[in-house]
Amino acid sequence: MIIEKISIKPYQLIFKEEYRNSQFSITKRDGWIIEIVSDGISGYGDACPLDGFSLEGHSQSGYGLEGFKLSITDCNEIDLEELLMLSEAHGELQPSVEFAIQSALYDLASKLEGISMRKYLNPNAKDHIKINYYSNSSINPFQGMVVKIKIQNTNLFKQLDLIDKVNDKFQGMAKLRLDLNGAYDLPRAIRLCKMIENKPIDYIEQPLPVDSSMEDMYELGLHTDIPIAVDESVNDIDSISKFLDKQCADVFILKPMTIGGISKIKNMIKLIEENSKRFNISSLLESNVGRLCYLQIASAFNSIEECGIATNLFFKEDICQFPSISNGIINMNDLNGIGIDEIYL
Ligand SMILES: [Mg+2]
């Protein structure tokens, strides 16, 4: 293809209220949108690293995108494979850069073919994606819904009270995912698991810090039947292999913004499925541009679990639309590319 133009623009999203987990609280998010134009058609990608999750910061991500742009300034014609390889080179140790470029390239390539990105990647892509809600979601409860709760590193009884309140709010119909964001040590995590054994818990997520030992993770698993998910600890296929080898994770949370390439995500999912483990695709609190691409990935790679993608409800406004959710389901539309209708930058 002939690349006519590349532009890179900053954006900022403001939270409706301060966003808190056990490690930090934030009021806004800063990211970059890359637009790649060919044949008069634009493909879009979002680079929005987050401190505490990402290897790279906001400025570094912007420089990474500029580096990619410079590298193809004098190219007349270049094919998709070469562009994807360039995205890997420029995205080394800065996965948000690789993800944004690949999102823009696949958005563009599928638009040029007049189909959605998910169908471009897989003609048998799923037509609906399940979505989890959050403890502050205000919706009518329904049986089997999945709700995520951010657990803080304060008094355990306080956390127990929070879990009960959320359970009551959704009239006991929700399966609960408890995200600890690595805040607990082994004894505390074991105590929490004991205290919640009779509650409807889908899994506990990242109970121990990223740098905790596999032995501690394994030991936690010996003390509880509650499935254990890993999030911050997983950003490439090697990290997944380690957890599989040591048998100490049941669920893998995949955040494309911290992984990078689409084929990397595909290979990670393949490995997880071969080992009969669970996974879901999850947001890093980025713009709807990034999350639209996540939906396409979840659909193309047949994600069957509730994904943590609908974080748009946390923000005052966004730079493009995001599909609505009904009873935990997003029905995929057939807009071309990643499904951006109109973008406001
Ligand atoms: Mg998490």
For 313-331, write each residue's pLDDT tens digit: 999 999 999 999 999 999 9
8 A C-beta contact, residue 177 and residue 146: yes
Are 100 and 132 contained in the same domain?
no
Are 90 and 139 contained in the same domain?
no
Are 287 and 142 contained in the same domain?
yes
In a domain, 342, yes or no: no
Structure token pair of residue 167: 């359970």
> How far is ligand 1, taken at its centre, from the CA of residue 107, in Å?
27
8 A C-beta contact, residue 256 and residue 297: yes
> How far is ligand 1, taken at its centre, from the CA of residue 221, in Å?
18
Are 224 and 110 contained in the same domain?
no
> How far is ligand 1, taken at its centre, from the CA of residue 133, in Å?
13
In a domain, 345, yes or no: no
Q: 172-185: per-residue pLDDT in tens?
A: 999 999 999 999 99
Are 146 and 170 contained in the same domain?
yes
The pocket of ion ligand 1, defined by CB under 5 A, consists of 179, 205, 231
Are 312 and 199 contained in the same domain?
yes
Are 100 and 157 contained in the same domain?
no
Q: Rounded to 5 degrees, what are φ and ψ at 197?
A: -60, -30
For residue 319, give the DSSP letter.
S
Task: Specify the pairing of strand 278-281 against strand 175-179.
Answer: unpaired
8 A C-beta contact, residue 333 and residue 323: yes
> How far is ligand 1, taken at its centre, from the CA of residue 270, in Å?
21
Q: pLDDT confidence of 309, banded at 50, 70, 90?
A: very high
Q: Return the closest-CA partner of residue 303 out of 238, 257, 251.
A: 251
In a domain, 143, yes or no: yes
Q: Return the closest-CA partner of residue 45 out of 307, 297, 280.
A: 297
> How far is ligand 1, taken at its centre, from the CA of residue 2, in Å?
40
Q: How many CB atoms lie within 10 A of CB 60?
A: 17
> How far is ligand 1, taken at its centre, from the CA of residue 206, in Å?
7
How far is residue 244's CA from residue 58's CA, in Å, rounded to a whole number? Answer: 32
Q: Is the pLDDT of residue 74 over 90?
A: no
Q: Is the pLDDT of residue 52 over 90?
A: no
> How far is ligand 1, taken at its centre, from the CA of residue 242, in Å?
19
How far is residue 330's CA from residue 104's CA, in Å, rounded to a whole number? Answer: 22
> How far is ligand 1, taken at its centre, from the CA of residue 51, in Å?
13
Q: 82-133: per-residue pLDDT in tens?
A: 999 999 999 999 999 999 999 999 999 999 999 999 999 999 999 999 999 9
Q: Is the pLDDT of residue 247 over 90?
A: yes
Q: Return the closest-CA partner of residue 232 out of 201, 258, 270.
A: 258
Are 61 and 148 contained in the same domain?
no
Are 267 and 321 contained in the same domain?
yes
Are 213 and 323 contained in the same domain?
yes
**Residue ending a domain, choose from 114, 140, 158:** 114
What pLDDT is recorded for position 200? Answer: 98
Q: 295-308: per-residue pLDDT in tens?
A: 999 999 999 999 99
> How far is ligand 1, taken at its centre, from the CA of residue 231, in Å?
5
How far is residue 128's CA from residue 305's CA, in Å, rounded to a whole number? Answer: 11
Are 194 and 251 contained in the same domain?
yes
CATH number for the domain harbouring residue 197? 3.20.20.120
> How far is ligand 1, taken at its centre, from the CA of residue 140, in Å?
24
CATH number for the domain harbouring residue 21? 3.30.390.10
In a domain, 183, yes or no: yes
Torsion, Cα 275 54 145 289, to 10 degrees, reads -110
> How far is ligand 1, taken at its centre, from the CA of residue 305, in Å?
15
> How far is ligand 1, taken at its centre, from the CA of residue 32, in Å?
22
**Residue ending a domain, choose from 86, 114, 142:** 114
> How far is ligand 1, taken at its centre, from the CA of residue 77, in Å?
41
In a domain, 339, yes or no: no
> How far is ligand 1, taken at its centre, from the CA of residue 150, in Å?
8
Where do we find the tokens 């623009």? 9
In a domain, 160, yes or no: yes
**Residue ending a domain, choose from 52, 85, 114:** 114
8 A C-beta contact, residue 328 and residue 127: no
Q: Based on the structure, what is the number of domains in the chain?
A: 2
In a domain, 176, yes or no: yes
Are 104 and 142 contained in the same domain?
no
How far is residue 28's CA from residue 16's CA, in Å, rounded to a whole number? Answer: 9
> How far is ligand 1, taken at its centre, from the CA of residue 207, in Å?
10
How far is residue 80's CA from residue 84's CA, in Å, rounded to a whole number? Answer: 6
Please state, in angstroms and as integers, the Cα–Cα distance from residue 153 to each residue in 52, 128, 183, 208, 344, following that order.
16, 36, 6, 11, 38
Q: Point out which residues pair with 253 in neighbouring strands.
A: 280
* CA 262 to chain CA mean position, Å: 12
Range of the structural domain that residue 15 is part of: 5-114
In a domain, 158, yes or no: yes
Q: What percent of the chain is modeled with pLDDT above 90?
A: 97
How far is residue 339's CA from residue 118's CA, in Å, rounded to a whole number? Answer: 10
> How far is ligand 1, taken at its centre, from the CA of residue 230, in Å?
8
8 A C-beta contact, residue 87 and residue 256: no
How far is residue 166's CA from residue 57's CA, in Å, rounded to a whole number? Answer: 34
Q: Is the pLDDT of residue 19 over 90?
A: yes
In this prediction the pTM is: 0.97
> How far is ligand 1, taken at its centre, from the CA of residue 89, in Å?
28
